């Protein structure tokens, strides 16, 4: 059996072994979670602390561990404290992040410790869920199967073909509770432009193997004609003309009954991928999203107006969240063909011209909008690490050196679901003439720690 507390690394590391000659482990009762959503649980550890003359050093280490736990959880700084435990008969050493630690001496022996050089007592540990060892996840898309060397992803999915996703097999995420993921993205596109925004999304509940994540502008009804340009998704973009001061049913996509079934009643961030000059007049316009039954104009669901201000400067904008369809979809076949509309109008009296390329649908199963700032960019061969296990987000040289963490991420952690097929989607923007250049590529690695509700 293995059981110890630890924090820090290298010379700063503090280690308190609970199964040695100085601290004899008598009993451990590892806490269990009632539900995966419950954040904390409690473990009781009965021990005898002994030793001549080093009981003073041992009790000082106990105090250091308790104090460190208070500091890191009270002020959110410095090293985290973990409880490590390997149950008898198991190969895995699990860890749990400690939120609070108390040591309660046994009254029958505690008062004599200065003379007898021993004290019985009990650690009461409030901690998070048990986590197994850091494990790399094999990734798959049409470029490779079960890849662990760094799988290529593109900046869209289209008929070229390109693929902006990696698939994770249901057997490759173990455990019985959702687990945060660590994602390593290395810029493999050799050009002079630097990446300044990255979107990452997770799809678990919207049929990952069949769901269509990219709706091409040229496939919509009501556009002003296609423009061929190899720098855009499917080699084309198109133009719409929002009128001044009045709502118009600008464009819509026909969604089949199967499309609706695959969406599963989930919610999606709708990202509008803009055209050659950041969408030309796309800014200073209002946008609505709505769903209608196939062939009907009456909305089943209509969004609030979403305004893109002129100060915006990105080539992809989040138009908000829509549920598709806005009801439960299950095996009873509650699906039917629908039309998905994007309405727009100019805040000025005159009509505008909006060049746009596609819509990317990002399920809310997990969503990250990452933006380097303070003139920080991700250049060729450099790497972005979004470690949602350790709550670290940084850029480095790609070799693990030169870390810089002046990066912000909007959205909650991406939590992988055990025993489920799932996909991660990626789109990046840069500071070049084609900010959403579809020829941009990355290599991706992903890691997780299997989580257990009980040991």
Average confidence (pLDDT) over 247-263: 88
Average confidence (pLDDT) over 81-107: 94
Please answer whether residues 378 and 188 qualify as being in contact, where contact means their C-beta atoms are separated by less than 8 angstroms. Answer: no
432: pLDDT confidence band, cut at 50, 70 and 90? confident
53: pLDDT confidence band, cut at 50, 70 and 90? low
| Spatial separation of the C-alpha atoms in residues 238 and 415, rounded to whole Å | 36
Least reliable range by pLDDT among 48-52, 60-64, 166-170, 415-419: 48-52
Average confidence (pLDDT) over 102-119: 74
Pick the residue with more confidence: 38 or 86? 86
Question: Coil, strand, or helix at residue 175?
Answer: strand
Instruction: Give tens-digit pLDDT for 270-315.
Output: 999 987 665 566 777 889 999 999 988 888 998 988 888 765 566 8
- Nearest one of 228, 191, 212, 200 to 407, comparing CA atoms: 200
Please answer whether residues 194 and 382 qualify as being in contact, where contact means their C-beta atoms are separated by less than 8 angstroms. Answer: no
- Nearest one of 235, 290, 274, 247 to 354, comparing CA atoms: 274
Average confidence (pLDDT) over 52-63: 82
pLDDT at 342 over 60: yes
Burial class (CB in 10 A: 0-12, 13-18, 19+), 354: buried
110: pLDDT confidence band, cut at 50, 70 and 90? low
According to the model, what pLDDT value does residue 111 have? 59
| Spatial separation of the C-alpha atoms in residues 14 and 44, rounded to whole Å | 21
Pick the residue with more confidence: 322 or 231? 322
Average confidence (pLDDT) over 264-272: 94
133-204+365-455 maps to CATH 2.60.120 = yes
Structure tokens at 394: 């940084």
- Nearest one of 193, 196, 167 to 313, comparing CA atoms: 196
Per mean pLDDT, which of 55-59, 60-64, 212-216, 296-300 is the most reliable? Answer: 212-216
According to the model, what pLDDT value does residue 311 have? 59
Domain 133-204+365-455 and domain 210-358, same fold? Reply is yes
Pick the residue with more confidence: 331 or 419? 419
CATH of domain 210-358: 2.60.120
pLDDT at 208 over 80: yes
According to the model, what pLDDT value does residue 55 have? 78
According to the model, what pLDDT value does residue 280 have? 60
Under CATH, to which class is 2-131 assigned? mainly beta
pLDDT at 330 over 80: no
Least reliable range by pLDDT among 151-160, 166-175, 431-440: 431-440
According to the model, what pLDDT value does residue 17 have? 96
pLDDT at 327 over 60: yes
Q: Where are the domains of the chain?
A: 2-131, 133-204+365-455, 210-358
According to the model, what pLDDT value does residue 114 have? 60
Least reliable range by pLDDT among 9-23, 64-78, 143-157, 245-259: 245-259
Structure tokens at 83: 């409880």
| Spatial separation of the C-alpha atoms in residues 171 and 421, rounded to whole Å | 8
- Per the document, the length of the chain is 455
According to the model, what pLDDT value does residue 334 have? 75
Least reliable range by pLDDT among 46-60, 359-373, 381-395: 46-60
What share of the chain has pLDDT > 70, as a percent? Answer: 93
pLDDT at 28 over 80: yes
Structure tokens at 253: 């996509």
Pick the residue with more confidence: 244 or 383? 383
Least reliable range by pLDDT among 139-148, 154-163, 243-252, 323-332: 243-252
Least reliable range by pLDDT among 116-130, 277-291, 336-350: 277-291
End-to-end CA distance of the chain: 13
- Nearest one of 64, 33, 94 to 72, comparing CA atoms: 64
Q: For the chain, what is the mean pLDDT?
A: 89
pLDDT at 116 over 70: no
257: pLDDT confidence band, cut at 50, 70 and 90? very high
Pick the residue with more confidence: 336 or 444? 444
Instruction: Give tens-digit pLDDT for 171-195.
Output: 999 999 999 999 999 999 999 888 9
What share of the chain has pLDDT > 90, as a percent? Answer: 61
According to the model, what pLDDT value does residue 332 have? 64
Pick the residue with more confidence: 304 or 153? 153
């Amino acid at each position: 059996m293995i059981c110890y507390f630890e924090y820090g690394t290298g010379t700063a590391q503090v280690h308190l072994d609970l199964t040695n000659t100085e601290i004899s482990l008598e009993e451990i009762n590892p806490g269990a979670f009632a539900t995966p959503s419950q954040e904390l649980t409690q473990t009781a550890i009965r021990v005898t602390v002994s030793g001549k003359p080093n009981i003073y050093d041992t009790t000082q280490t106990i105090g250091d561990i308790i104090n460190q736990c208070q500091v890191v959880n009270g002020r959110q700084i410095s090293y985290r404290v973990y409880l490590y435990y390997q149950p008898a008969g198991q190969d895995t050493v699990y860890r749990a992040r400690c939120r609070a630690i108390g040591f309660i001496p046994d009254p029958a022996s505690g008062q004599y410790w200065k003379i007898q050089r021993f004290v019985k007592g009990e650690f009461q540990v409030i901690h998070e869920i048990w986590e197994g060892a850091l494990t790399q996840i094999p990734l798959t898309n049409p470029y490779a199967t079960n890849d662990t060397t760094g799988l290529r992803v593109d900046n869209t999915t289209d008929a070229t073909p390109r693929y902006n996703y990696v698939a994770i097999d249901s057997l490759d995420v173990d455990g019985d509770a959702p687990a945060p993921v660590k994602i390593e993205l290395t810029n493999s596109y050799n050009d002079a432009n630097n990446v300044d925004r990255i979107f990452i999304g997770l799809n678990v509940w919207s049929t990952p193997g069949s769901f269509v994540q990219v709706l091409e502008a040229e496939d919509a009804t009501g556009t002003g004609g296609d423009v061929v340009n190899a720098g855009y998704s499917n080699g084309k973009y198109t133009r719409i003309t929002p009128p001044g001061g009045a709502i118009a049913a600008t464009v819509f996509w026909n969604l089949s009954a199967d499309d609706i079934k695959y969406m599963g009643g989930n919610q999606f961030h709708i990202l509008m991928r803009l055209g050659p000059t950041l969408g030309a007049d796309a800014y200073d316009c209002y946008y609505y999203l709505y769903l209608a039954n196939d062939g009907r104009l009456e909305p089943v669901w209509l969004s609030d107006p979403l305004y893109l201000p002129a100060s915006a400067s990105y080539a992809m904008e989040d138009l908000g969240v829509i549920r598709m369809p806005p009801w439960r979809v299950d095996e009873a076949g509650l699906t039917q063909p629908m039309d998905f509309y994007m309405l727009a109008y100019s805040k000025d009296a005159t009509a505008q011209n909006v060049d746009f390329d596609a819509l990317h649908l990002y399920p809310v199963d997990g969503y990250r909008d990452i933006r380097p700032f303070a003139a920080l960019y991700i250049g060729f061969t450099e790497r972005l690490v979004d470690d949602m296990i350790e709550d670290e987000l940084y850029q480095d040289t790609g070799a693990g050196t030169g870390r810089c963490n002046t990066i912000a991420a909007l959205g909650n952690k991406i939590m992988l679901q055990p025993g489920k097929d799932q996909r991660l989607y990626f789109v990046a923007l840069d500071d070049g003439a084609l900010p959403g250049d579809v020829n941009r590529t990355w290599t991706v690695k992903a890691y997780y720690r299997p989580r257990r509700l009980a040991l």
